[in-house]
Structure formats: C-alpha cells, structure tokens
C-alpha cells in the first residue's frame, strides 16, 4: 500500500529549481531515504510532504490526502522530527513527554516509549543536562506518544558520535518492525545504505537514482576492488565476485588481502562526477 505518492513535484525559488519534477512512491512499513548533497532539495521536498510548504506543481498524496489540505485525522497519524526540535531546557524528560502528550493528544504509555528509546533512567533529568544523542532521542520520543503511522525524520543523526548514531538507527529499525513508515532525509550514505528499503538519491532538484541500496549498486555496474600481495608483488583485481577472488588469492598464498565493495557514495560520484559531501 502506498503511504506517499509524488508525481512531477516542482518547487522554484526565483531561478533556483529547488525541486524540479520528481516522482516517487513510499510503501507502508518501508524506510525511505532521500539522500543528496547540501542544496539537493531534500528539506524542500520533505516540508512539502509535511504540509509546511506549498508546491509550484505536481501531485502529492500523503496517507491519501493532499498535504496542502490535511484533515485533522491525517495530521494525527503523522509525526515530524525536525533536526532541531525545540525542547524546554528546564523541564525534565518526564515533564517533556507529558507536555507533548497533551499537545498531540496521545495515550500511549510514556513509560513504554521512554524504555523503548533508552531514556527511562533519565526520566528525572533536566533536558539541559542531556547529551546530544539523548536530546535527539527525546525529540523522537516526544512525537511517539500518539502512536503515529508515518514518521518524518530530517537528518536524525547529524553531528552525533558513532555510538549515538547506532542507537538512533536501532530505534528507527524498531519502529519499522512495528509496521510504521519512516521517511528519512540524510546526507550520510552509510545511514541510507544501512536503514533503507528504498533510497532516492537527489541532486540539484532531480532524482539521479532510486531503488534498494544493493540494487542501485548492482545497476551502477561498479565492481569490487580486491588488493593483495602475491609473491612480493602488489596486485589489484576488479571483480563482481570479491569473495571468490579472495578464496582464489588465499589458495595461491596471497597476503594482506583487502576488499573494497562499492557503496552509495561511489554510485553518486559515478553518476554525477561529484562527491556526495561538500
């Protein structure tokens, strides 16, 4: 079932074609990621889907409705986590949850949500005493009390250390297991590759590639590179079957074997001639 349908979406700011005729579908229970460099049009796209910006052209349906005219019943099925969700520094974690529960009218157990997100031990801590990763988890927790069906996450792990990032990834996969649909924007290709059912790579307002991460990599035709030292000589092999190449190299007595498989970053570079990150 399609939760989001977008056809020929356009948004221009003067001469800047922020979103330039893009089309995609997001299925229920999927993690769908918009990946692209700074200025690609990710935030513009996601804010149009959330009903926060008006579009200049195209057709958009989110949970069956046009975001420019969302009904209250659809709004209650959405959760939006901004990169910088405003939290009150002088409230405790528990007070923050109660506040947002009143705002969203949710009735899920706050205890369950905090435990799921690893914040139960911090329930009496003031928000201003939380670490960056804990704040980000609280921002996510605060929109889960009304049990949303569709969750928008704009760059959920930007600026976090690897452990905090992993923790957020686990939470996202857990929400997916509960059948929720997650719409993610990120410029971390490892994040998109690890979490997504479908990755949509955007650049300069257009979609340059879309599909399951493995499928995109396969379609690019990029090969794995295996390097090794064989009888004192350094060798490099390009192959579609790196495991087999490694097995053969071991049999021949090769040492210092190193495999590098292509990733989404390589695909982006291959398609656009530019790096994903500035």
Ligand X SMILES: Nc1ncnc2c1ncn2[C@@H]1O[C@H](COP(=O)(O)OP(=O)(O)OP(=O)(O)O)[C@@H](O)[C@H]1O
Per CB under 5 A, residues contacting Mg ion are: 42-43
Please give the Cα distance from 60 to 64 (Å, whole number): 9
Shortest Å distance, C-beta 199 to ligand X: 14
Task: Give the one entry of ligand X, Mg ion, none that residue 88 binds, where binding means its C-beta sits below a cut-off of 5 to 8 angstroms depending on kind.
Answer: none
Task: Give the one entry of Mg ion, ligand X, none that residue 18 binds, where binding means its C-beta sits below a cut-off of 5 to 8 angstroms depending on kind.
Answer: ligand X
- Per-residue tokens: 276: 């994903």
If the CB atoms of residues 50 and 116 are measured against Mg ion, the closer one turns out to be 50
Size, binding site for ligand X by CB under 6 A: 12
> x/- binding map, residues 182-201, to ligand X, per CB under 6 A?
-----x--------------
Task: Give the one entry of ligand X, Mg ion, none that residue 135 binds, where binding means its C-beta sits below a cut-off of 5 to 8 angstroms depending on kind.
Answer: none
If the CB atoms of residues 18 and 97 are measured against ligand X, the closer one turns out to be 18
Sign of CA dihedral 35, 189, 144, 99: negative
Please report, as residue ranges, which positions from 13 to 72 form the binding site for ligand X (by CB under 6 A).
Answer: 13, 16, 18, 36, 38-44
CB distance 130 to 163 below 8 Å: no
Length of the chain: 278
Shortest Å distance, C-beta 3 to ligand X: 21
CB closest to Mg ion, residue no: 43
CB distance 139 to 81 below 8 Å: yes
Q: Is 252 exposed, middle or buried (0-12, 13-18, 19+ CB in 10 A)?
A: exposed
Task: Give the one entry of Mg ion, ligand X, none that residue 44 binds, where binding means its C-beta sits below a cut-off of 5 to 8 angstroms depending on kind.
Answer: ligand X
Closest CA to 267 of 228, 225, 197, 214: 214
If the CB atoms of residues 36 and 148 are measured against ligand X, the closer one turns out to be 36
φ, ψ for residue 28 (rounded to 5)? -60, 135
If the CB atoms of residues 104 and 183 are measured against ligand X, the closer one turns out to be 183
Q: Is 41 exposed, middle or buried (0-12, 13-18, 19+ CB in 10 A)?
A: buried
Shortest Å distance, C-beta 42 to Mg ion: 5
Residues near ligand X (CB under 6 A) are 13, 16, 18, 36, 38-44, 187
């Amino acid at each position: 079932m399609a939760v989001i349908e977008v056809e020929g979406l356009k948004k221009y700011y003067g001469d800047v074609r922020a979103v330039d005729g893009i089309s995609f579908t997001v299925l229920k229970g999927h993690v769908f990621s918009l990946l692209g460099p700074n200025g690609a049009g990710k935030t513009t796209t996601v804010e149009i889907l959330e009903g926060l910006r008006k579009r200049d052209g195209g057709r958009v349906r989110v949970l069956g409705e046009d975001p420019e005219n969302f009904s209250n019943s659809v709004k209650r099925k959405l959760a939006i986590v901004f990169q910088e969700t405003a939290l009150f520094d002088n409230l405790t974690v528990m007070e923050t949850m109660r506040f947002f529960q009143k705002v969203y009218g949710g009735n899920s157990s706050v205890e369950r949500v905090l435990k799921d997100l690893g914040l139960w031990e911090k329930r009496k801590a003031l928000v201003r005493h939380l670490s960056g990763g804990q704040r980000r988890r609280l921002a996510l927790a605060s929109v889960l009390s009304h049990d949303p069906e569709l969750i928008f996450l704009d760059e959920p792990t930007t600026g976090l250390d690897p452990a905090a990032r992993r923790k957020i990834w686990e939470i996202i996969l857990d929400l997916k297991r509960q059948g929720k649909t997650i719409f993610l924007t990120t410029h971390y290709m490892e994040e998109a590759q690890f979490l997504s059912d479908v990755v949509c790579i955007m650049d300069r307002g257009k979609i340059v590639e879309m599909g399951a991460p493995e499928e995109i990599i396969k379609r690019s035709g990029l090969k794995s590179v295996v390097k090794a030292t064989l009888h004192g000589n350094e060798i490099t092999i390009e192959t579609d079957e790196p495991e087999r190449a490694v097995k053969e190299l071991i049999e021949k007595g090769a040492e210092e074997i190193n495999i590098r498989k292509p990733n989404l970053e390589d695909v982006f570079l291959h398609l656009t001639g530019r790096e994903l990150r500035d």
